[in-house]
Structure 1
Amino acid sequence: MPETALSVAGLTQYLKDLLEEDPQLQQLWVMGDVTSLHNHVSGLFFTLSDSEGMAAMKCVVWGSLRDRLIQIPKVGQQVCVLGSVQLFTKRGEYQLRTLQILPMGEGLQALRANQLKARLAAEGFFDPARKRPLPPYPKQIAVVTSPTAAAWGDIQRTLEQRNPGVRVLFSPAIVQGDLAPASIAKALARVERDNRAELIILARGGGAVEDLDCFNDERVVRAIALCERPVITGIGHQRDECLADLVADLAAHTPTAAAEFAIPPIAQLYQAHQQRQQALTRALVRRFEQESQHLQSLKQRLMELPAHSRPLQQAQTRLHLCQEKLAALNPQAVLERGYALARQENGALVRSPEDVSSGQILTLQLPRGRITVQVIQDQG
């Protein structure tokens, strides 16, 4: 046996040390397609293969790290794996001990969008409680879109048809490409500074999904949230909502629909005005009838009050008694019974013979008239 011969265990251990101690292999990114997947209680086991099928390697995410993955991969998905190389001496196999898995291509974009959505949702941007009601009859509406977009023409025609008296303020913006997010945010801020519009429509016509990426940009979401007036979005046609739709006060599927939501048709306004007039007339008639009936009821009660009011009857009885007492004490009634009142010249009543003297002139007050007499003899 050659002196340089190695045992299987010795060679395997040498390779293990060589691989696992190499700094470049302790933490590296590997890109490939997931061709098999087995989610076991001890860990997540999957195979990462070259897109051309020329090579493959086994990967594992041990149970303690599985909950930290951003996303669980799927068979057929292209991913980028962060991990370190391990070699099992008993089987002579190496595998990638995985620390993190990121989707590639559209999956990576979706992941980033979901992360941004979750972060903005945590800040309360999508809370239904913060959405504001639209003004029922706005007189001035601002439109943010591209001047060359079909959406601008659709909105103008719709608003003109529904209510030609509404004033439309245009704030141009780029709505596609890398420059679009900053341009849209600037256009919205321009409307806010102008401070005339009661409502904002942010619109873009249909297009490919990638053409609408600017409406998932954080700058656009924050610009919409900062608007002091309600915002309606009309972006694309019949698709999943973008982040701009979620933060807006109302999301429409098309620019035309956004314009229809913004203002009611003038015929509807006229009909509503007529209905309010009719309702007001009916209310006034009902109120007049109710008040008339109430007045008649009060009149009837007033007429019946002497016959049914016990306090009034008691008061009338007391009044009669007082009248009888007053009549009994009336001096005129005493005179009617044959008495007379004698008064001296100064008007004082003669109450006894001592009050007069012989020859004094007195006035006698009778029940009907007065006479003047002279005292002939003092009987005091």
Structure 2
Amino acid sequence: MTNNPISLYELNSMVAMVIEHAMPKRYWVEAEVSEARESRGHLYIELIQKDDHTHTPIARASAKCWRTSWTLIAPHFERITGTRLKAGIKIMALVHPQFHPQYGFSWIVDDINPEYTMGDMARKRQEIIAQLKQEGVFDLQKELVLPLFAQRIAVISSASAAGYGDFCNQLLTNEYRFDFHTELFAATMQGEQIENSVVNALNAINEREDEFDCVVIIRGGGATADLSGFDTLQLAENVANFPIPIITGIGHERDESILDMVAHTSVKTPTAVAAFLIENLSNTLRRIDNAQNIIYRAMAQKMQHEKMRLEQLSTAIPMLFTMVKSKEEAQLDKYLHALSQHITSKLLTETMKIELLSNRIKPAIERHLTYLQHRIDLIEQRIELVNPERLLSLGYSITYCNGKVIRNEKELKAGDEITTRVMEGEIKSIVTK
């Protein structure tokens, strides 16, 4: 056992001197952030490296970025990448080693290259996009049809976001006075809870999908950074497979997010979403107005056409009536003349018979004459009974169709034009039944 032990502080100081002399340079290192926290303006992070195949950690180290450096690095990093430095992202950091006798070893971060993180984020985005296309869901939302009367709106937003208030106010005060019905499904739209919070809101809406025409995901009034939560596979899959159209307006200042890509419609801001919904209804109103005008013009043309047809018919009817009347009168005169001739001929024949027999048997003739006179009277009565003029004077009528006397209703059909002769004229009718 040695008699000259050294203190732990001395030992750690020696280690610090060795590291300082052995590694005097600064090094650019690639690593994934497994933990990040800020305290009093300083950044404390844990760095890891994972195996490319098993994804298990194979290296781990602590790192610090002092306030004097972090106040310059953080704004630049967030402006370029659009996100805060947090667990799960890869960085390329300029570091130098430091071994403190009291706090031990750590890497001191002097700078961070945001372009490297951007490249890694872009690679992950492309991998997610490729997977969505491979699954066949990337364009599913685009195949949905936004209802013409999209007025029942499910809104996913932070309740306190200024963008949500602007969205509701613009719908309420639209120039057309359209009536919209919105229901808020509150969600966290900042930080690491975006994905789970929005997915939970979508699940709640999905349980009541019949109550809504579309879903609006809006974000406004918050920080411009930390929008990477909208670039996740789980959220993209939920949106892509959602059964009703989803419209996004999450206020990106950089390229569109994966959420924007898979949504039915993507616009930049909440107020732009409201304008889109108002325009959709105004387009529907214009289509209704156009259809109304087309129907009105068609009905006006039809009525004008039918009016012309009626005028033509009203002109033709008197002419047809005169022709039919003349024809029927001539036919009736013919019948009357023939009947008169027949009666005269019959009377002459019977008179001659009487004269021939009168000289033979006067009593028999007288009896026979009496008998014949009776027969003549009967015949005259019968003739009188069938005399058309007498029948007409008694209130009877004669009905003709196409010049033919109608004796049975089966001779007629609906639409036929008939002429009814009465004592003082004729009546034209159309058969309806």
Q: Indicate the TM-score class for this superposition, using the shorter chain for normalisation.
A: 0.5 to 0.7
Change (3 A) 1:296 1:123: farther
- 1:188 corresponds in structure 2 to 202
Pairwise CA RMSD of aligned residues? 4.5
- 1:365 corresponds in structure 2 to 376
> Structure 1 residues 150-159 or 234-243, which shifts more?
234-243
Instruction: Measure, in 1, the Cα distance between the counterparts of 2:207 and 2:241.
Output: 12
Equivalent residue in structure 1 for 2:343, among 335, 340, 347 = 335
Alignment check: 8 A CA contact 2:247 2:264 kept: yes
Change (3 A) 1:222 1:269: closer
Instruction: Measure, in 2, the Cα distance between the counterparts of 1:284 and 1:161.
Output: 37
SS of aligned partner of 2:239: helix
How much does 1:256 deviate?
0.7
SS of aligned partner of 1:178: helix
Q: Identity of aligned pairs, percent?
A: 25
- 1:197 corresponds in structure 2 to 212
Provide the TM-score with structure 2 as the length reference: 0.47
Alignment check: 8 A CA contact 2:142 2:263 kept: no
Read off the aligned partner of 1:223 and give its amino acid letter.
Answer: N
Instruction: Measure, in 2, the Cα distance between the counterparts of 1:113 and 1:152.
Output: 27
How much does 1:338 deviate?
5.6
**Correspondence 1:142 to 2:154:** yes
Instruction: Measure, in 2, the Cα distance between the counterparts of 1:298 and 1:231.
Output: 61
Read off the aligned partner of 1:333 and give its amino acid letter.
Answer: Q
The one-character-per-residue Cα deviations of 1:138-197 (angstroms, maximum 9, x if unpaired) are: 332111011232221121111111147322100011123222112111101212223422
What does residue range 1-380 of structure 1 map to in structure 2 within 5 Å? 105-127=117-139, 130-162=142-174, 163=177, 165-195=179-209, 196-205=211-220, 211-237=226-252, 239-264=254-279, 284-300=299-315, 331-337=339-345, 339=347, 359-360=367-368, 361-362=371-372, 363-365=374-376, 369=380
How much does 1:269 deviate?
8.7
Aligned length: 250
The one-character-per-residue Cα deviations of 1:212-238 (angstroms, maximum 9, x if unpaired) are: 222221222222233332211112145
Read off the aligned partner of 1:169 and give its amino acid letter.
Answer: E
Structure 1: unaligned runs, 5 residues or longer? 1-30, 33-77, 80-102, 343-356, 371-380
Instruction: Measure, in 2, the Cα distance between the counterparts of 1:340 and 1:237.
Output: 123
The one-character-per-residue Cα deviations of 1:272-311 (angstroms, maximum 9, x if unpaired) are: 887777776555444433332333244445566689xxxx
Read off the aligned partner of 1:259 and give its amino acid letter.
Answer: A
Read off the aligned partner of 2:201 and give its amino acid letter.
Answer: A
Alignment check: 8 A CA contact 1:158 1:256 kept: yes
Alignment check: 8 A CA contact 2:194 2:229 kept: yes
Alignment check: 8 A CA contact 1:141 1:198 kept: yes
Change (3 A) 1:200 1:212: same
Alignment check: 8 A CA contact 1:151 1:203 kept: yes
Instruction: Measure, in 1, the Cα distance between the counterparts of 2:256 and 2:294.
Output: 41
Provide the TM-score with structure 1 as the length reference: 0.52
Alignment check: 8 A CA contact 1:340 1:367 kept: no
Instruction: Measure, in 2, the Cα distance between the counterparts of 1:185 and 1:260.
Output: 25
Alignment check: 8 A CA contact 1:125 1:225 kept: yes
Read off the aligned partner of 2:198 and give its amino acid letter.
Answer: I
SS of aligned partner of 2:347: coil
> Structure 1 residues 357-366 or 168-177, which shifts more?
357-366
Alignment check: 8 A CA contact 2:141 2:241 kept: no
Instruction: Measure, in 2, the Cα distance between the counterparts of 1:118 and 1:265.
Output: 32
Change (3 A) 1:299 1:223: farther
Change (3 A) 1:327 1:130: farther
Instruction: Measure, in 1, the Cα distance between the counterparts of 2:283 and 2:144.
Output: 23
Alignment check: 8 A CA contact 1:161 1:265 kept: no
Read off the aligned partner of 2:129 and give its amino acid letter.
Answer: K
Read off the aligned partner of 1:184 and give its amino acid letter.
Answer: V
- 1:14 corresponds in structure 2 to none
Instruction: Measure, in 2, the Cα distance between the counterparts of 1:304 and 1:241.
Output: 80
> Structure 1 residues 285-294 or 136-145, which shifts more?
285-294
Alignment check: 8 A CA contact 1:340 1:365 kept: no
Change (3 A) 1:249 1:265: closer
